[in-house]
Amino acid sequence: MKDLVSIIMPMYNSAAYVVEAIQSVLAQTYTNWELIVVDDCSRDDSVARVKEFCSIDSRISLFKTDKASGSPTTPRNEGVKHANGRFIAFLDSDDMWLPTKLEEQLKVFKEAEGSVAIVYSDYEKITEGGERSGRVVKAPAKATYVSMLKGNVIGNLTGIYDTAKVGKVFFQR
């Protein structure tokens, strides 16, 4: 059986974008995933839009924070608490993935035969209307502890990690 990937999606007033973000998860060629959306007390109809998806796909669940935190950290950590997958990935509610994102990244873990704990990639910026812009943010081929002390080179929407190697990792508040 394929390993489960837990996708954590923090959300706050994302009605304009969350449908496309969820659709990009539904379009993944790797299908053994769960999508954990954590709402940070949105005041628009973001929650209603996510509930529609929850009603048609049991892999999608919705949680809410007790109070608005004003930061994606609290909802991400709440999502990590609920994650059941061996692998944990992050996708903000205003971002989108290309269809082979999970499949390609999971290949790297398999090909590395247990020596890789985190995989990340380049990403392309999109317009507010969701159009590809051609502006690619290049990530270095390798990141070390020392290089990460100088700045985070991992675009949040590209990162995926193996909990079998590092456990569940929580964001610092």
Q: For 133-164, how does the pLDDT look when each residue is reduced to its tens digit (9 = 90+)? A: 888 888 888 887 788 778 788 888 999 999 99
Contact 135/124 with Cβ under 8 angstroms? Answer: yes
State the average pLDDT for the chain: 93
pLDDT, tens digit, 9 for 90 and up, residues 4-25: 999 999 999 999 999 999 999 9
> Who wins on pLDDT, 138 or 86?
86
> What phi and psi values does residue 130 have, to the nearest 5 degrees?
85, 10
CB 62 within 8 A of CB 35: no
Give the separation between CA 85 and CA 113, rounded to whole angstroms.
19
Six token digits for residue 168: 């569940």
The model's pTM? 0.93
pLDDT tens for residues 65-82? 999 999 999 999 999 999
**Which pLDDT tens digit goes with each residue over 42-70?**
999 999 999 999 999 999 999 999 999 99
What pLDDT is recorded for position 146?
82
Q: What is the pLDDT of residue 46?
A: 98
- For residue 1, the model assigns a pLDDT of 56
Backbone angles phi, psi at 78, to 5 degrees: -60, -40
The per-type count for the chain, helices as H runs and strands as E runs, is 6, 8
Lowest mean per-residue pLDDT among 24-28, 31-35, 84-88, 156-160 = 156-160
46 touches 75 (CB < 8 A) = no
Confidence (pLDDT) at 141: 84
